[in-house]
């Protein structure tokens, strides 16, 4: 059965992390997921949580109300946005007074939040909605035992009390997807370590140190590459890998791909269509045939 979601792009994916968007738009429709582009979305609000949490809540509610206006469930590829929207639903469902207050503000744009709609992330969309069996049917070029590590990103795992796409301490859904693509997911002690991105705004050196330390650990364990599922994590591990290496004084050389890029390659889609030329880490090292 075809599934239909509003694509909530957030800020980072549509303004710079184009490889994620390209690979999402290439792969998901082939797996019977219809992505609807909806006008008018804004920032989810999460980047402003340290400045003003009410603003975060308002922006999240605004985006949920827009999806609701179109009677659509929401697909959120960014871990940070996914947390913001899920947490907003949680707060508004638990706190009727806050819901009324937020709706009072939303009226300025003729919007209203009334009901909880489904909010999914790449990981649960692929694992739970599309399903492993269906992905398996679409694998045309298995990944030949590629030894690869998964990075989930903090915000899709915690806090579990509001419901997250995978287990907070022992997530396995990306690994399950990697296995069906023919790769060999590698377990590593630093799996739950943060990418560093949340400090990029005010402590960039520390943010890059965090990134560099995790990549260094992965490199030293002889793992062939890393997959991620969040534009912020990918910005750190891929786009800023050289800088992260300079920050921790290590020559880093770790191929980093979005899970949807690796999925697309296994489905036989060309690297060009999946935006592989936009990855700044040495993805050509993993030799998947048509990698550019």
Partner 1 sequence: MSIIDLTSMGEPQSDLKKELNDRLTKLQDEISEYCFQCAKCTSGCEAHKLLELEPHKIVALLKRGLINELVNSDVIWTCMTCQKCRERCPQRVAPVEILFALKNMAVASGKQIPGKYTGMLQSILSMGLIQDIQQTTTRSNKILKRDELGLPPPSKPTDVAKFQAGIMKIAIEKV
CB of 133 to partner 1, least distance (A): 31
C-alpha dihedral, 256 to 260 to 262 to 268, nearest 10°: -150
By CB under 8 A, tell whether 202 contacts partner 1: yes
Determine the 3-state secondary structure of 214 from DSSP.
Answer: helix
By CB under 8 A, tell whether 30 contacts partner 1: no
For residues 132 and 190, which CB has a smaller minimum distance to partner 1 in the complex?
A: 190
136-163 core/surface letters (b: 16 or more CB in 10 A; e: else):
eebeeeebeebebbbbbbbbbbeeeeee
CB of 236 to partner 1, least distance (A): 12
Q: Please report where in the chains the tokens 């298995």 appear, as a residue.
A: 142
CB of 165 to partner 1, least distance (A): 14
The packing angle between helices 241-248 and 204-220, to 10°, is 90
Which residue of 120, 148, 176, 199 would you call a contact of partner 1, by CB under 8 A? 199
Which residue of 280, 285, 287, 289 would you call a contact of partner 1, by CB under 8 A? 280
The interface with partner 1 within residues 253-272 (CB under 8 A) comprises none
Which residue of 27, 49, 64, 230 would you call a contact of partner 1, by CB under 8 A? 49
Stretch that binds partner 1, among 124-132, 201-209, 225-233, 240-248 (CB under 8 A): 201-209
CB of 214 to partner 1, least distance (A): 10
> What tokens does 289 get?
């045939």
149's CB contacts (< 8 A; 6+ apart) are 185, 186, 188, 191, 218, 223, 225, 226, 227
For residues 180 and 195, which CB has a smaller minimum distance to partner 1 in the complex?
A: 195
Distance between CA atoms of residues 151 and 65, nearest Å: 31
Binding mask 56-75 for partner 1 (x = CB under 8 A): --xx--x-------------
Distance of alpha carbon 73 from its chain centroid, rounded?
17
Query: Rounded to the nearest 5°, which phi and psi values hold at 166?
Result: -150, 175
Which residue of 1, 2, 39, 222 would you call a contact of partner 1, by CB under 8 A? 39
Distance between CA atoms of residues 292 and 275, nearest Å: 10
Asked if residues 78 and 13 have their Cβ atoms less than 8 Å apart, the reply is yes
Containing H/E element for 184?
Answer: strand 184-185
Distance between CA atoms of residues 117 and 64, nearest Å: 8
For residues 37 and 133, which CB has a smaller minimum distance to partner 1 in the complex?
A: 37
Which residue of 91, 98, 105, 132 would you call a contact of partner 1, by CB under 8 A? 105
| Residues forming the site for partner 1 (CB under 8 A) | 8-9, 11-12, 14-16, 18, 21-22, 25, 37-43, 47-55, 58-59, 62, 83, 101, 104-106, 108-109, 154-155, 157-160, 168-169, 192-194, 196, 198-204, 206, 209-210, 275, 277-280, 283-284, 292
């Amino acid at each position: 059965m075809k599934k239909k979601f509003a694509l909530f792009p957030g800020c980072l994916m549509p303004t710079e992390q184009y490889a994620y968007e390209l690979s999402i738009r290439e792969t998901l429709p082939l797996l019977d997921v219809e992505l609807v582009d909806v006008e008018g979305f804004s920032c989810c609000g999460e980047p402003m949580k340290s400045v003003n949490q009410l603003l975060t809540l308002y922006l999240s509610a605004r985006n949920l109300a827009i999806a609701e206006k179109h009677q659509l469930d929401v697909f959120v590829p960014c871990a940070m946005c996914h947390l913001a929207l899920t947490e907003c639903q949680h707060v508004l469902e638990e706190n009727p007074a806050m819901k009324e207050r937020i709706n009072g503000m939303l009226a300025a744009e003729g919007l209203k939040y009334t009901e909880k709609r489904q909010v999914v992330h790449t990981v649960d969309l692929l694992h739970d909605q599309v399903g492993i069996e269906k992905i398996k049917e679409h694998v045309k070029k298995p990944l030949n035992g590629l030894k690869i590590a998964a990075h989930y990103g903090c915000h899709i795992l915690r806090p579990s009390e509001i419901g997250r796409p995978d287990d907070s301490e022992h997530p396995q859904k990306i690994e399950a997807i990697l296995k069906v693509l023919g790769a060999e997911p590698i377990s590593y002690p630093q799996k739950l370590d943060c990418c560093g991105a949340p400090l990029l705004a005010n402590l960039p050196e520390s943010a890059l140190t965090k990134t560099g330390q995790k990549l260094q650990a992965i490199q030293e364990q002889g793992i062939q590459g890393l997959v991620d599922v969040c534009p912020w994590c990918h910005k750190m591990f891929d786009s800023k890998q050289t800088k992260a290496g300079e920050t921790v004084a290590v020559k880093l050389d770790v191929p980093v791909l979005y899970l949807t890029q690796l999925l697309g390659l296994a489905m036989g889609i060309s690297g060009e269509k999946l935006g592989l030329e936009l990855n700044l880490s040495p993805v050509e090292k993993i030799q998947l045939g048509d990698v550019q």
